[in-house]
Structure 1
């Protein structure tokens, strides 16, 4: 009889978790986007504005981008996957702080709060990516032939890396509040070191060997292979990004399970 009850109990638990995550997602949609003028429109306008400024500024300095002829497409293929990672890492890191009141209920777990923020913000960033890229391809004569597998692979790598870094930082922020300031300082140079403004191959060998360990460089390189048929990011390693994400996620969940009560009671 136990063999029949166990699967039913597992299905009930999964259904309960899915329902809790959905409820948390709806709550965040109403609080984050529902109360601000423009709502989701700002999620699209922010990357569009950043890409436009980059494109205009660099078009005044150099004649052609590192790939192709469109500055706006070149910077979009670097900025958008970086933006997905950055948004996910930052929002997930504050999951417990955002949902602290709801975590007092026995049916809501820290993992539920993390998953809710991950799914909502990942879907939002996917929508932003589609709208911005579609707009660029419609408005500008880029003559791009899209290769969807590397594009989707890059987005998946970006999402999982953001989830893993955010989960680890969720624990560190809860245990050591000063980590928020430290991470802000450490994270700031990533915009310049993630291949948004350049190709890794154009840098000196020493810089290439150092920046190779930045997983965002791999994500950007793979993304651009999906837009530029003549570009081959031979250095890019999805295995490295997935392995790093898995290690960070493992230790993040392990520490969260060990110290969740301490974090929530602070």
Structure 2
């Protein structure tokens, strides 16, 4: 009797689930054991973005780009971008951060990516819920006007973040300087994502350039669920199609070059 007959697919899936669960716990311990203020800092970062924008807005007596509440506008932009990039940024470092663990036969590079993604997605969804709930309480009204669109947006953000991270993790494990490149483009990506402005206020020529930034579509999708009459520069098909392509390439690279990635 072969080993495959003795250990059916269900057994392999259970074993893989145990490996990923153990990696999630390890990632959480590594993330928060070094500092008691680790989770507080994660909460403080979005609050800092909102606070700085509101301070500048008040000082310059500027008009809100859209809507009647500056905090809501910037919070939707911050989470549309920061949740996507925050999840993907940590996840794309999963292989490098867990390199010693790859010497164990049961652990594959993809397992480390999935485990890190699950942890980061859980953290950011909790933070999003806290901030959105807190703002709704302070404004004494519901700020998610389209709940179904909001859930679709969160799923799309998670899908793109995982796909983007899988691609970057595989390429980064093969090209050492690639992580430096990703760090360099993080700030330009945020500035081009419509976090602090409404993209449709620009000329068609500028919009045509901004349109290619997938993070902009994450921001615009997030805002469409919090405003009744928001006019977004949004193409859901482009975001989901790009995410699917990046995921397919990332998974292929991870599988084809797995021995090289493990021995890197």
- TM-score tier by shorter-chain length is over 0.9
Taking the aligned partners of 1:195 and 1:150, their CA distance within structure 2 comes to: 19
Answer yes or no: is the 8 Å Cα contact 2:87–2:121 preserved in 1: yes
Change (3 A) 1:47 1:54: same
Residue of structure 1 in register with 2:119 after alignment: 120
Structure 2: give runs of 5+ residues left out of the alignment.
Answer: none
Match of 1:245 among 238, 243, 246: 243
Q: CA deviation at 1:263?
A: 2.2
Residue of structure 1 in register with 2:173 after alignment: 174
TM-score normalized with structure 2 length = 0.92
Residue of structure 1 in register with 2:134 after alignment: 135
Q: CA deviation at 1:210?
A: 1.1
Q: CA deviation at 1:62?
A: 4.1
Q: CA deviation at 1:214?
A: 1.1
Q: Judge which range, 74-83 or 161-170, deviates more.
A: 161-170
Taking the aligned partners of 1:145 and 1:258, their CA distance within structure 2 comes to: 43
Q: CA deviation at 1:125?
A: 0.5
Taking the aligned partners of 1:204 and 1:113, their CA distance within structure 2 comes to: 43
Alignment of 1:37-186 (within 5 A): 37-140=36-139, 144=143, 146-186=145-185
Partner-residue secondary structure (3-state), 1:69 = coil
Encode CA deviations 1:57-91: one digit per residue, 9 max, x unaligned: 12322443122221111100011121111112211
Answer yes or no: is the 8 Å Cα contact 2:144–2:150 preserved in 1: no
Q: CA deviation at 1:105?
A: 0.7
Answer yes or no: is the 8 Å Cα contact 1:59–1:71 preserved in 2: no
Taking the aligned partners of 1:81 and 1:201, their CA distance within structure 2 comes to: 17
Q: CA deviation at 1:141?
A: 5.4
Taking the aligned partners of 1:129 and 1:232, their CA distance within structure 2 comes to: 23
Taking the aligned partners of 1:42 and 1:105, their CA distance within structure 2 comes to: 33
Taking the aligned partners of 1:69 and 1:256, their CA distance within structure 2 comes to: 47
Taking the aligned partners of 2:152 and 2:133, their CA distance within structure 1 comes to: 18
User: Which ranges of 4 or more aligned residues in structure 1 deviate by more than 6 Å?
Assistant: none
Give the superposed CA RMSD.
Answer: 2.1
1:16 aligns with 2:32: no
TM-score normalized with structure 1 length = 0.92
Taking the aligned partners of 1:187 and 1:129, their CA distance within structure 2 comes to: 20
Answer yes or no: is the 8 Å Cα contact 1:110–1:260 preserved in 2: yes
Structure 1: give runs of 5+ residues left out of the alignment.
Answer: none
Answer yes or no: is the 8 Å Cα contact 1:51–1:72 preserved in 2: yes
The alignment of Structure 1 onto Structure 2 pairs a total of residues equal to 263
Residue of structure 2 in register with 1:255 after alignment: 253
Partner-residue secondary structure (3-state), 2:99 = coil
